Amino acid sequence: MSQRGTIRAGIGGWTFEPWRGVFYPEKLPHAKELHYASRALSTIEINGTYYRSQTPATFGKWASEVPDGFVFSLKGPRFATNRRVLAEAGDSIKRFLDSGPTMLGDRLGPILWQFAPTKKFDAADFGAFLELLPKTFDGHALRHVVEVRHPSFKDSEFVTLLRHFEIPVCYADHPTYPAIADLTGDFVYARLQKGEDENPTAYPAKEIATWASTANAWAAGELPKALAPDLAGEPSKKPGKPRDVFVYFIHGGKIRAPAAAQAFTEALAKPSAPKSKPKK
């Protein structure tokens, strides 16, 4: 068994006009942006799938433009998550899977199911949703992750539920959303959302190095000690195992997000052990 999972770092989407002249060359054709971004970064989180359906042809085109080893994560549709009764999300989940995401082939990474900040934790309600998430579709293994944004989810019962289904919870570095560091699945997904455009790498260099060290600990199957205060449940009693790690610099400091992802990737080879929790 490998002693460390694969760590990927990226951004949200690849179309953002302020990136021209900052990340993209000024005269790069818009049609070449995905080609460029996928060679500068190792993953991109697609937000458009949250708002509208795509087509198999679109997914296939995206897959054809990126290199081997590159991985997309996809946001599941809001029609599945923004509802009062989550047990009724089955049709929306099926429509999404029928729209062709498996056309990405080995470029298909995690599917992120994002819930509204007003959605409160209810074990039966949320468990019914997790029951609807298939482990495979069209011959492809699927990796699901949930992003919850109401403080009621910081609950040991929520952690137990996720461990039962072996589904990770997104770790959020955000000014108001809860940070939940429990390891509940076989990969880790983090969204770092407190960057600032005034900083050339969104986060200060010291914090980038600390996040890189944190990601290396995750990849080795460890719970970073600095994140222990963010546990909602008891640490798992199972031995640590290598985990793939997906880290996205997103929302906060968006103009500098690509530079943050690149600086983070460079720091992975020379991280120092975090002596304190990454700055909140």
In 43-89, which ranges are continuous DSSP H helix?
Answer: 48-51, 56-65, 78-81
Q: What is the spatial distance between Cα 176 and Cα 179, in angstroms, rounded to a whole number?
A: 9
Rounded to 10 deg, the angle between the 257-267 and 205-219 helix axes is 60
User: pLDDT tens digits, residue range 188-219?
Assistant: 999 999 999 999 999 999 999 999 999 999 99
| pLDDT at residue 275 tops 60 | no
Any idea of the CA torsion for 15, 50, 145, 106, to the nearest 10 degrees? -60
| pLDDT at residue 242 tops 50 | yes
User: pLDDT tens digits, residue range 106-147?
Assistant: 999 999 999 999 999 999 999 999 999 999 999 999 999 999
Biggest alpha carbon–alpha carbon distance for the chain: 54
**Pair of tokens at residue 256:** 């500098």
Domain boundaries, the chain: 7-267
Q: To the nearest whole percent, how much of the chain has pLDDT over 70?
A: 96
Average pLDDT over residues 4-12: 97
Q: Is the whole-model pTM more than 0.75?
A: yes
Confidence of residue 235 (pLDDT cuts 50, 70, 90): confident
Confidence of residue 236 (pLDDT cuts 50, 70, 90): confident
CATH of 7-267, picked from 3.20.20.410, 3.40.50.300, 3.40.640.10, 2.60.40.4070, is 3.20.20.410
Q: What is the spatial distance between Cα 63 and Cα 77, in angstroms, rounded to a whole number?
A: 20
